[in-house]
Structure 1
Amino acid sequence: MSSSELHPDEPSFKALEQAAEWFALLRSGEASPVDQNNWQGWLAAHAEHRHAWQYVERISGRFEPIQNSSSRQTAVQSYCLANQRLGRRRQLLLGLGALAGGGLGGWLAWQHTSLSNTVLAWSAEHRTAQGEVRKLLLPDGSTVWLSSETALNHDFRSDQRLLSLVAGEILIETAADANRPFLVNTRQGQLRALGTRFTVRLDGQETLLAVYQGAVQIDTVSSQTSRIVHAGQQTRLSRSHIADTAAVAPERQNWVKGMIVTDNTPLLDVVRELQRYRGGYLSVSPEAAQLPVIGSYPATEPDRALSMLEGVLPIRIKRTLPWWISIELAQTGR
């Protein structure tokens, strides 16, 4: 595993680290003309460098965009030059329009985010902020917990109880009602509770289901595929496919208590969970990704959790920017 599995479709760990260091220097106000020229040379040298720069600026647009107008102008000029060399007229025009309208980050966010899903999440009946975990009592006596950055709607009628998960993750304990099935809809399919406690999580183009008590019936959106998942099992489903079931660890549900409980869990997986509770960017070098993690860590206090991990693992946490954190193996002899 590598940091690219934490952030799909991103450049390499090395390219991103270089881009972040250039970004930190440019925004510091201490970049010399030589630094500016070297940065332009780095940017033009490889397509992955431009991709990495775009990735960093996209994230920075949410937190701390470049304030120095001359650096910003240089960024525009270098971006144009790099694209002209490749003959990418269409991408250049799109990029310029986005830069003029508030930053390259906005353009990339538009490219990679479904506007309809974003609007649905913002207009959802129940929403949690980043780092928030909330318990909700439903009209029928069922209980649902909402994880960080979760959006949920509910529609309870005389013939059914329906939850629609728009974003994030929920844990559900259903109340008995023989006359009204308990259903959960996602973009990939419909889940029917069969007297149960289970979690549902949206993960890219898939839904992750984990069942802790009872059972859940799955029906996908785009096919006739159906399956019943029993207690102790988990699976992923797309719009047309249901993956084979695998065992689920009971401690996986401890996020409702604001905790991540691990037992020889790869560091990459732990950081992936912390990323959901912390703004900015977290990455793990390929060399550190598979370090085994054991113990309990506060998900809702991700910075404290990172410090705890640094205290028990041979890693170094590098804070290039307040919102850019990378995790590497510590130097030998630590």
Structure 2
Amino acid sequence: MAVTSEADRERASDEAAEWLVRLREAPDDRDIEARFAAWRAAAPAHETAWTEISQTFELIGEPLARRPQADAEPAPRLRPKRVPGLLAAGAGIALAAFAAALFLPGWMLRLEADFATAAGEWREVKLADGSSVELAPLSGIDVSLKEGRREVRLLAGQAFFRVTPDPERPFQVEAKDVRATVLGTAFEVRLDGTETAVAVAEGRVRVDHGALSRVLVAGRWLQVEATGGLRDGIRAESEIGLWRHGEIVAHDQPIANVVKELRPYFNGVIVIASDSVARRRVTGVYRLHEPVEALRALGRAHGDIAVTQVSPWLVIVSAN
């Protein structure tokens, strides 16, 4: 019995997403239907991937594909048909996973944080010391203002700080194992999974990570990666915190990076259908208020990128 590797399963999922786009865009194309049937029959992993995506989105009222026409040759099944109980259980798990991707991040943040935002939500928080914090979507902070110190912990997402000077009470921001101490006035901190980045718009900020201590001036950024490695560079000061004005700028960035920036602004799931699409490099300015339209603008600018909104909660980016 052949063993399906994780790489094979991921590849099958990517290909299933691509077939989803093709079938919806050309529902009456017999050639596409025949090639789709051949793809499903080629490997058990293909059938499994298609079954999972079909179960998930048909359960939320979004049928994904027409069945082959009556005179089309049916694709042979390469695995036993599941019993209804197992099929329902699998569908329930798939739907639960989809619902978790939609709702859990914002819900969990609201439980843990003093201040938090949901997908697509911006929020400005005025602190008791006169400082302000602007939260990007799916972001959360804990605040502790006490005699002799001012501390904010970034739990997730992205925040822009404009700090009221007070030499007697240093203002510090923690994000995982990175600490930023304000020596100036305005800076941004981003926590993306296990990576933390600090960028300074005005003044100076000292960044401490383990034995490292570095002072950043306006226009400089520092990122601590999951491996513990460091990256730094220069960015136009006007681009730091640009998301507060509803825009992002990509300079020769992979599409995967642009999609990562847009995901918190979309109340649903954005899927990149293949690694080759994810690696494509793009340059442009993209509006955050309408993430789907931003993706479509990216597709129009680069010609061979298709953006398909399957439902209000699912967008797929694929090769055209």
With normalisation by structure 1, the TM-score equals 0.67
Deviations 1:6-62 (A, max 9, x none): xxx9923x642425646998xxxxxxxxx9xx98993892557746865x479759x
CA distance in 2, matches of 1:255, 1:269: 15
Alpha-carbon deviation of 1:289?
A: 4.0
Kept in 2: contact 1:208–1:237 (CA 8 A): yes
Kept in 2: contact 1:43–1:49 (CA 8 A): yes
Q: 1:304 aligns with which of 284, 290, 293?
A: 293
Per the alignment, residue 195 of structure 1 pairs with: 184
Alpha-carbon deviation of 1:309?
A: 2.6
Q: Which moved more, 1:143-152 or 1:260-269?
A: 260-269
Q: Which amino acid aligns with 1:104?
A: A
CA distance in 2, matches of 1:97, 1:329: 31
Deviations 1:150-195 (A, max 9, x none): 1112111111111111111001111100011111122233221211
RCO higher in structure (CA 8 A, sep ≥6): 1
1:157-306 to structure 2, matched below 5 A, reads 157-220=146-209, 223-237=210-224, 241=228, 243-250=230-237, 251-278=239-266, 279-283=268-272, 285=274, 286-287=276-277, 289-294=279-284, 296-306=285-295
1:119-158 to structure 2, matched below 5 A, reads 119-158=108-147
Per the alignment, residue 71 of structure 1 pairs with: none
Kept in 2: contact 1:187–1:239 (CA 8 A): no
Kept in 1: contact 2:55–2:91 (CA 8 A): no
CA distance in 2, matches of 1:52, 1:235: 42
CA distance in 2, matches of 1:308, 1:66: 25
- Size of the aligned set, in residue pairs, is 285
Kept in 2: contact 1:267–1:292 (CA 8 A): yes
Q: Residue 294 of structure 2 aligns to a residue in which SS?
A: helix
CA distance in 2, matches of 1:57, 1:162: 47
Kept in 2: contact 1:147–1:169 (CA 8 A): yes
Alpha-carbon deviation of 1:139?
A: 1.3
Q: 2:60 aligns with which of 64, 89, 93?
A: 64
CA shift in 2, pair 1:248/1:42, >3 Å: same
Q: Which amino acid aligns with 1:272?
A: K
Structure 1: give runs of 5+ residues left out of the alignment: 1-8, 26-34, 69-77, 84-95
With normalisation by structure 2, the TM-score equals 0.70
CA shift in 2, pair 1:209/1:152, >3 Å: same
1:61-140 to structure 2, matched below 5 A, reads 64=60, 99=89, 102-106=92-96, 119-140=108-129
Kept in 1: contact 2:109–2:139 (CA 8 A): no
Alpha-carbon deviation of 1:305?
A: 1.6
Alpha-carbon deviation of 1:209?
A: 1.5
Instruction: Report the identity percentage.
Output: 27
Kept in 2: contact 1:58–1:108 (CA 8 A): no
Q: Which amino acid aligns with 1:179?
A: E
Kept in 1: contact 2:152–2:172 (CA 8 A): yes
CA shift in 2, pair 1:43/1:168, >3 Å: farther
Q: Residue 282 of structure 1 aligns to a residue in which SS?
A: strand
CA distance in 2, matches of 1:50, 1:101: 12
CA distance in 2, matches of 1:82, 1:216: 61
Alpha-carbon deviation of 1:271?
A: 2.6
CA shift in 2, pair 1:129/1:244, >3 Å: closer
CA distance in 1, matches of 2:38, 2:246: 44
CA distance in 2, matches of 1:259, 1:100: 39
Q: Which amino acid aligns with 1:218?
A: V
Kept in 2: contact 1:260–1:299 (CA 8 A): yes
Alpha-carbon deviation of 1:308?
A: 2.6
Kept in 2: contact 1:172–1:197 (CA 8 A): yes
Q: Which amino acid aligns with 1:45?
A: A
CA shift in 2, pair 1:239/1:156, >3 Å: farther
